[in-house]
């Protein structure tokens, strides 16, 4: 959702509260596309602190479907975020780029709330995702999800002589 900021930029001391709905339905970056399963509206406050500077504060959360690091089953991960930004509305878009202000959620007087939330969610992206603490992962041989039962593949033997015996054993089992 886009919020037009010219009214509040022109009235010093003004404070508004908004609850914009997110249009965002997935989080995409180099690692892939992750669907947003649930989202709260953003509780957003904008204050004109004077001299055409706006202070943005917001909270909310999104629940994103992320594959488990071990078994790859989708896990619903709730990612809360907090927004705290100062926007100097005196600057033009070109000046912002020159100042390396990476405010690409702000174009002229239009604030792109989805983009802002997207960036905040990326910053809070979980480093590790497990469907459960003791997830057994997938079999490195057949790819079966071992949380759903064992697959019957033999453990990887370390001794080559054992490997030969193990091969005979697994052939025997297939019959
Ligand atoms: Zn898992
Ligand atoms: Zn297996």
- 22 versus 174: the higher-pLDDT residue is 22
DSSP assignment, residue 137? -
pLDDT in tens, 70-80: 999 999 999 99
CA 59/CA 62 separation, integer angstroms = 10
Ligand 1 center to 38 CA (angstroms) = 21
Query: What spacing in Å lies between the alpha carbon of 145 and ligand 2's midpoint?
Result: 9
Q: What is the pLDDT of residue 142?
A: 93
Whole-number percent of the chain with pLDDT over 90: 75
CA of 130, nearest ligand number = 1
Distance 114 CA to ligand 1 centre (A): 30
Measured in angstroms, how far is the CA atom of residue 72 from the centroid of ligand 1?
Answer: 6
Ligand minimally distant from the alpha carbon of residue 66 = 1
| pLDDT, tens digit (0-9, with 9 covering 90-100), for 21-64 | 999 999 999 989 999 999 999 999 999 999 999 999 999 999 99
Nearest listed ligand to the Cα of residue 139: 2
The share of the chain scoring above pLDDT 70, in percent, equals: 86
Nearest ligand to the CA atom of 155: 2
Tens digits of residue pLDDT in 62-72? 999 999 999 99
Please check the confidence at residue 175 and state whether its pLDDT lies above 50.
no
Q: Which tens digit of pLDDT belongs to each residue from 93-112?
A: 788 777 766 678 998 899 99
What's the gap in Å between 67 CA and the centre of ligand 2? 20
Q: How far apart are CA 45 and CA 68, in angstroms?
A: 35
3-state class (DSSP) for residue 23: coil
Q: Name which residue leads in pLDDT, 104 or 137.
A: 137
**pLDDT band (50, 70, 90) for residue 19:** very high
| DSSP label at residue 163 | H
Q: Which long-range contacts (CB under 8 A, 24 or more apart) does 110-115 make?
A: 110/2, 110/3, 110/4, 110/5, 111/2, 111/3, 111/4, 111/5, 111/56, 111/87, 112/1, 112/2, 113/1, 113/2, 113/3, 113/20, 113/22, 113/42, 113/44, 114/1, 114/22, 114/23, 114/24
Which pLDDT value is given to residue 157? 55
Domain ranges of the chain: 2-123, 138-175
Structure confidence at residue 155 (pLDDT): 65
Ligand nearest to the CA of 140: 2
């Amino acid at each position: 959702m886009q919020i037009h900021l010219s009214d509040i930029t022109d009235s010093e001391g003004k404070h508004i509260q908004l609850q914009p709905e997110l249009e965002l339905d997935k989080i995409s970056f180099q690692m892939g596309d992750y669907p947003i399963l649930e989202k709260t509206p953003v509780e957003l406050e904008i204050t004109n602190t004077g001299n055409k500077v706006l202070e943005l504060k917001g909270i909310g959360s999104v629940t994103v479907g992320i594959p488990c690091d071990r078994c790859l089953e989708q896990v619903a991960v709730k990612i809360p975020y907090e927004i705290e930004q100062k926007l100097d509305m005196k600057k033009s878009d070109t000046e912002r780029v020159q100042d390396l202000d990476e405010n690409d959620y702000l174009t002229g007087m239009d604030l792109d709330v989805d983009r802002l939330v997207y960036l905040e969610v990326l910053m809070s992206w979980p480093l590790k995702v497990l469907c459960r603490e003791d997830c057994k992962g997938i079999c490195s041989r057949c790819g079966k999800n071992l949380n759903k039962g064992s697959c019957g593949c033999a453990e990887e033997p370390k001794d080559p002589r054992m490997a030969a015996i193990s091969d005979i054993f697994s052939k025997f089992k297939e019959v």
